[in-house]
Amino acid sequence: MRNLFDTFVKQRYTICIMPRREAEATTPSAPDGHPIQPDDIDTSKHFFDAFGHMETEISAHYIVGLCQQKGSWGPFTKEEIENFYRSKGHQEGFSFNALIESKTERLFDGRTHTIGGEWIIHEGEEYIITPEFIRQVFKSSPANKW
């Protein structure tokens, strides 16, 4: 039982609360073995089924766009994502939807459905992209070179 608990704690640490230094060091690899870069993601398409929630996938699209503009998966601030979002013609504020915290929605038949959370880590003034976020957007929408 102790080993099962230790495994669970290690998985949660890796996915949710991994310090920035470790998160940046574990960038997933593309099929050819090189670390996936923001330009390896095709943002001309919707990230279908990447996060199980259309609004969250749209939010991920803007985050990938910001990272492509910056040229890295490095941390970003709320101000940076807001400025990028406004540069695309939006007046209202940027919403992370279910990228940081999970959301529970009521389905048409009265049941509830919980999605997302922990794809982006909010640490102080910075937002840190997790390796799983990179895997999901790459799997959903790789650039045509793959």
Residue 146 inside a domain? The answer is: no
Residue 145 inside a domain? The answer is: no
Please give the share of the chain, as a percent, with pLDDT higher than 90: 62
Domain boundaries, position 58:
2-140
Residue 118 inside a domain? The answer is: yes
Q: pLDDT tens for residues 112-122?
A: 767 667 899 99
CB burial of 95-106 (b: ≥16 within 10 Å; e: otherwise) equals ebbbbbeeeeee
Q: What region, left, alpha or beta, does residue 9 occupy, with left being phi > 0 and alpha being psi -120 to 50 degrees?
A: alpha
SS3 72: coil
Confidence band for 3, pLDDT divided at 50, 70 and 90: low
Measured CA to CA, the distance from residue 45 to residue 140 in angstroms comes to 9
Residue 133 inside a domain? The answer is: yes
Q: pLDDT tens for residues 41-93?
A: 999 999 999 998 899 999 999 999 999 999 999 999 999 999 999 999 999 99
Q: How many domains does the chain have?
A: 1
Residue 119 inside a domain? The answer is: yes
